[in-house]
Amino acid sequence: MIQRVQTLYLFFIVVISIVLFFVPLVEFVNSDSIFSLNILGLEFQNQENSFSISTFPLIIINTLIIVLTSICIITFKNRNLQIKICKINLFLISAFLIFTVMYSTQIEEKLADKGLNTSFGLGIILPIISIILTYLAIRGIKKDQELIRSVDRIR
């Protein structure tokens, strides 16, 4: 049933995960430059030093979130499987946030002498919204289960 509210929640999670490929997660700003960390990584070069950070785990986790959420939308007839997939998604989104914080602290340590200020971008807020939407989807799926059980009892 595509018209269920939890399907909309799951669809918004897919959209948010796709948007995460295009928005910065964390920005490092000083008086003359801005460095932004996104899912695809961060590269920094100047005369004194250069480094690049690969964020391949973030790409993998975000892709898994998109795939699993899409599978969860498709398997609307098996509500128990939907709940299990949503719980896995909660774990993956939390891992995504942990990796993001880990990468930002790693970059802060490497750029400590540059006097950069750290500002979290939209990419940190979107996974938190995804966690909330996943929780709401689980609640909606459980309500559907209760409704089906109550109808079965009446028969």
Per-residue pLDDT at 145: 84
pLDDT tens digits, 53-110: 778 999 999 999 999 999 999 988 888 999 999 999 999 999 999 999 888 888 888 7
Question: Rounded to whole angstroms, what are the CA distances from 28 to 76, 116, 123?
Answer: 42, 6, 14
* Residue spans per domain, the chain: 5-40+54-154
Residue 15: pLDDT band (50, 70, 90) is very high
Per-residue pLDDT at 103: 87
Rounded Cα–Cα distance for residues 96 and 126 (Å): 11
Quickly tell me which residue has 């973030």 as its tokens. Answer: 58
Rounded Cα–Cα distance for residues 109 and 104 (Å): 9
Rounded Cα–Cα distance for residues 18 and 3 (Å): 22
pLDDT tens digits, 113-155: 777 777 888 888 999 999 999 999 999 999 888 888 887 766 5
Residue 45: pLDDT band (50, 70, 90) is low
Question: 103 — alpha (psi -120 to 50), left (phi > 0) or beta?
Answer: alpha
Higher pLDDT, 142 or 51: 142
CA-wise closest residue to 17 among 94, 127, 104, 100 = 127
5-40+54-154 adopts what CATH topology?
Answer: Butyryl-CoA Dehydrogenase, subunit A; domain 3 (1.20.140)
